[in-house]
Amino acid sequence: MEPWQARSSEFHPYSVDRLEEMPQELQDRARAALPSGALLQAAFVVPEEEWEGKTEAAQALLFTQTGVVQVTLSGAPLQIDAATLLWLRSSHLLLHGRIELVAAAEGRLLRLVMAFNAIGWRLIQPAWQALVGRAIGRERGGAHPPFSADRVAGVPEKFVDGLERYGLYTGEALVGAVFQPALWSSGGLAGDEQQLHNTLVVLTDASVLVLEEERALVRRSEQLGLIITRMPLRAVEQVVEVPGAAHGQLEFVLTSGGCTDRCSVSLAAEALRRWALLWASRSQPEGGEGR
C-alpha cells in the first residue's frame, strides 16, 4: 500500500489484493473466516464510519473465486456462495454506496448488508461484476448482444445508460423493458406526494433487473443515482401480480436451497399489463416487448 493510501484508509474505503495489507484486527478475522481452498481475489476494506446516525464498525468484504465473505469487528463473519444468491442490490446514490445480498445456506436465508462511501464503487467494480456474473451463470461477462432501439423506446436516457453501465456488462441479451414514470397525487396544503417513483423493470436471458430512483420529496427535484436490484432467472420461481387501489405490485417469489424470499416492485396498471406480456414472451427472446 502506498503512503497516501495508508493515510486515506483512515477515512475512506480501499481495496487490497493481499490479507497482509489489511489492518491487523480485520486481517486476523479474515484469515479465520476464509474457507479452506478459497482464493482471495480482492479485499474491500471499510473503516469505521457513521451512517444514518449509527456508528458502523470497521469491516471488509473478501471476494473469492466462489463468492464473498464479510468480516467485521462487531460480529461474526458471513460467507455467501454466489451460486446460492436469490437477489443482489447495489445503491449508487451520490456519496452513499450500499451492497445488499440475500442467499440460501443449509436451509436458511443469509442477508449481507454493507454501506460505504460511494467512492469505493470504482475500487471494487471488477470484483463486484465477477460476483454478479457467477450468480447468474455468466462468469466471462463481456459485451452484450446489440438490441433494437424499440426495446427501450420511451425509456429516459438516464435509465438506458444505467442499464448499460450497471446491468448488461455480464454479456446478457436484453429481452425487453418496461418503464414506470413517477406518479404524484395532489396533497392540497400538505403538498404533493409521490405515489410511484421512476422505475425500469428489465428482462434479460439470465436476470430480472429493477432500476429505480429514490422516492422524491418534491415534484421538481432531480434524483441523482440509481438503485439496482438483480434477480437471477434460475431463482425466480413465480411472479405474482398483487392488485391495489391506486397501483399494484409485482412480487417475485425467489427460491434456492430450500429457502424462499420475495422482491416487490410497485407499478401502475398499464406497466403491469406490459410486464405480463413481456414475461410471457421470455421463452422467445426475439419477441420481447420493448415499450
Indicate if 149-287 has the same CATH topology as 3-136.
yes
The mean pLDDT value for 273-290 works out to 72
CA distance linking residue 68 with residue 78, whole number of Å: 8
Of 120-129, 201-210, 217-226, 228-237, which gets the smallest average pLDDT? 217-226
Which pairing describes strands 54-56 and 14-16: parallel, antiparallel, or unpaired? unpaired
Which pLDDT does position 187 carry in this prediction?
65
CB-based contact 46:120 (threshold 8 Å): yes
CA distance linking residue 44 with residue 222, whole number of Å: 31
Specify the DSSP class assigned to residue 105.
E
The CA distances from residue 282 to 99, 205, 285, in Å, are: 28, 8, 6
Q: Is 46 helix (H, G, I), strand (E, B) or coil?
A: strand
Cell of 174: 436484453
Q: Sign (positive/negative) of CA torsion 32, 38, 39, 44?
A: negative
**What are the residue ranges spanned by the domains of the chain?**
3-136, 149-287
Which pLDDT does position 191 carry in this prediction?
64
pLDDT at 84 over 50: yes
pLDDT at 7 over 60: no
| Chain segment 166-208, per-residue pLDDT in tens | 999 999 999 999 999 988 887 655 567 778 989 999 999 999 9
CATH architecture assigned to 149-287:
Roll (2.30)
Q: Is 274 helix (H, G, I), strand (E, B) or coil?
A: helix
Which pLDDT does position 193 carry in this prediction?
77
pLDDT at 59 over 90: yes
pLDDT at 246 over 80: no
- The chain-wide mean pLDDT, for the chain, equals 88
- For 3-136, CATH gives 2.30.29.30
CA distance linking residue 139 with residue 116, whole number of Å: 26
Q: Sign (positive/negative) of CA torsion 283, 228, 84, 267?
A: negative
Terminal-residue alpha carbon distance, the chain? 49
Which residue, 207, 12, 218, is CA-closest to 116? 12
Which pLDDT does position 98 carry in this prediction?
94
Residue with cell 430450500: 258
CB-based contact 104:258 (threshold 8 Å): yes
Which pLDDT does position 4 carry in this prediction?
44
CA distance linking residue 235 with residue 254, whole number of Å: 5
pLDDT at 217 over 70: no
